[in-house]
Amino acid sequence: MKTLLLLPILFLTYAMQGQGNCEDASAYLINSYSHVKDAYDSNNISHLQYYSNRSVESIKLSKQNLADCNCKKALDLANQVSDLLVQVESATTNEDGRFYVKRARDLSKQSVIEIDKCAYNNANNIEVEETPTENNALANLQKEQEQLKQQQAALKLKEQEIKQKLAEQQTEALALEKKQLIGKYKLAISSTVKTYNESLKLCNNSNTLTAADTDVSQESMETIKTHYISSLKKLASDYVMQLDLCAN
């Protein structure tokens, strides 16, 4: 008689525990959905990434309860949401991040619906089998997820190509800017040397001023400027010294 009484009690205890796990999982998924909505409404990449991370953390906390609740559909949806949101961390613009967040938001909402179904079924001791239509829907979601991953890989490759081209263009632009700057300084030095030497001839000074031609094309813009300003200063100093000789 004691054994017969114990079995219903154990069954009731198990059912209540399962229901509690579903309710806990539901709370985490609702929290995750709230964060992903905040992410979608964010107007900058930092906030979008912050709320996406918060949503992922809530999903992580829900997984044990989802497993104990035996709600596979909600767990699968939550995993898909997490897979989408972790991509947001590497997004460089708000628009790129919202591409993942939009899909994650829709799936997150569906996961909340599924966990509520499981909680209701557990509370009423209802066993539900997946229909062929549901299986097809899950297969379509998985296929869509795979396509999304392929698109992400293609986007990353394109991003790398664009970055490489930009880097090459920037290098070429800097080289041209250096070349133009060096040309202007050389022209100024050449003109200065010519003027100084003509002035020295007027005072019968046979000494000739020259400027060393050093290749500084591989140096930074600041170093190039410093080099040629120093050269002009040295020319001026040498010129004044030669003028003093003229005076003597």
Q: Tell me the average pLDDT of the chain.
A: 80
Residue 6 predicted with pLDDT over 80:
no
Tell me which residue of 61, 76, 77 sits closest to 24, measured CA to CA. Answer: 61
More confident residue, 92 or 9: 92
Q: Which of 40, 68, 75, 66 is nearest to 54 (CA)?
A: 40
| Structural domain range at position 209 | 172-247
Q: What's the pLDDT tens digit per position in 101-134?
A: 889 899 989 988 888 888 777 766 544 445 555 5
226: in domain: yes
Q: What is the per-residue burial (b if ≥16 Cβ within 10 Å, else e) of 42-70? A: beebeebbbbbbbbbebbebbeebbeebe
Averaged over 181-192, what is the pLDDT?
90
For residue 9, the tally of other CB atoms under 10 A from its CB is 9
Query: Does any domain span residue 197?
Result: yes
Residue 242 tokens, joined:
């030669």
What is the model's pLDDT at position 180?
92
216 in a structural domain: yes
User: How many Cα atoms are found within 13 Å in the side-chain-facing hemisphere of 105?
Assistant: 16
pLDDT tens across 189-204, in order? 988 999 988 888 888 8
End-to-end CA distance of the chain: 133
| pLDDT surpasses 90 at 223 | yes
The total number of structural domains that make up the chain: 1
Whether the per-residue pLDDT at 11 is higher than 50: the answer is: no
Least confident of 24-38, 78-92, 111-125, 175-189: 111-125
pLDDT at position 69 is: 80
Q: Is residue 212 domain-resident? A: yes
Residue with tokens 């909402």, as numbered in its chain: 109
**pLDDT of amino acid 222:** 92
pLDDT category at 248 given cuts 50, 70, 90 is low
Chain centroid to CA 227: 39
CA distances from 159 to 46, 54, 152, 154, 156 (A): 20, 27, 10, 9, 5
29 falls within a domain = no
> Does residue 121 fall inside a structural domain?
no
Residue 46 forms part of a structural domain:
no
Lowest-confidence region among 9-23, 91-105, 156-170:
9-23
